[in-house]
């Protein structure tokens, strides 16, 4: 099974750290965040790795060469959203099933192994939280995805989308059908919602941990977690 890392964003919430480098290369305890991501993916058994990069792709390439890591860099010249990013990787994915995650997210090896389902369903990894208003909430029925509600104002559930997916090749058919979202992007979650309407998307629950490098305020929290858990 292939894995696709989405790392095309500029990381504006990480300024000034991202002024001259890529968000996923920000050092965590002296080691680029992407190192942890790739380490975990390799421990989970992935060997065929694609990285979608739009901002500073040369920095990611330099990192891969310096660390002798084999991965395919896929260009996304225009930042048109996660759905658009995945579409750029259609040739890389071919007819294989693919696990997709953001380059600014770190998942446990156990969770990366658990999502490698070889059946014909797509999967989303969810986590129960108290501050559900800040995330996309997964509305489910018997672990089947019904829909995703982005940052709901009223309570519809507390199971949120962590941004870890396993997709079948059908994702590309769905991506070809979606239109621009309200924020002017092609959203991967919109394509998954289309597949959910056909009862083709299942939801898994987080087993261990998920770290999100969303803003510069997250850096010390992640550094503490990494040090404490000897990652």
* Residue 83, pLDDT score: 97
Q: Residue 106 forms beta bridges with which residues?
A: 211
Is the model's pLDDT at 150 over the cut of 70? yes
Return the SS3 of 56.
coil
Within a 13 Å sphere around the CA of 206, how many CA atoms are in the beta-carbon half?
18
170 burial via Cβ count (<10 Å: 0-12, 13-18, 19+): middle
If DSSP states are collapsed to H, E and C, what string results for 116-158?
CCCCCCEEEEEEECCCHHHCEEEEEECCEEEEEEECCCCCCCC
Tens of pLDDT, residue by residue over 136-147, are 999 999 999 999
Average pLDDT (6-30) is 76
CATH number, domain of 57, equals 3.90.550.10
Tens of pLDDT, residue by residue over 155-167, are 999 999 999 999 9
Average pLDDT (46-62) is 92
Return the SS3 of 58.
helix
Number of domains in the chain: 1
Residue 183 belongs to what domain range? 2-228
* Residue 55, pLDDT score: 77
């Amino acid at each position: 099974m292939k894995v696709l890392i989405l790392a095309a964003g500029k990381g504006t919430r990480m300024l000034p750290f991202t002024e001259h480098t890529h968000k996923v290369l920000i050092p965590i305890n002296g080691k680029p965040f992407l190192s942890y991501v790739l380490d975990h993916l390799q421990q989970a058994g992935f060997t065929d790795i694609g990285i979608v990069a739009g901002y500073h792709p040369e920095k990611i390439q330099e990192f891969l060469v310096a660390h002798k890591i084999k991965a395919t860099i896929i260009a996304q010249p225009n930042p048109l959203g996660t759905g658009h990013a995945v579409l750029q990787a259609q040739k890389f994915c071919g007819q294989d099933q693919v696990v997709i995650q953001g380059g600014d997210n770190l998942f446990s090896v156990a969770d990366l192994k658990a999502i490698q389902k070889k059946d014909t369903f797509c999967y989303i990894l969810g986590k129960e939280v108290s501050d559900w208003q800040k995330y996309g909430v997964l509305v489910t029925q018997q672990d089947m995805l019904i829909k995703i509600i982005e940052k709901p104002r009223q309570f519809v559930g507390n199971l949120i989308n962590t941004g870890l997916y396993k997709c079948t090749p059908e994702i590309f058919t769905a991506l070809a059908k979606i239109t621009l979202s309200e924020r002017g992007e092609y959203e991967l979650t919109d394509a998954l919602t289309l597949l959910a309407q056909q009862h083709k998307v299942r939801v898994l629950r987080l087993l261990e941990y998920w770290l999100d490098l969303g803003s510069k305020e997250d850096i010390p929290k992640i550094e503490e977690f990494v040090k404490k858990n000897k990652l």
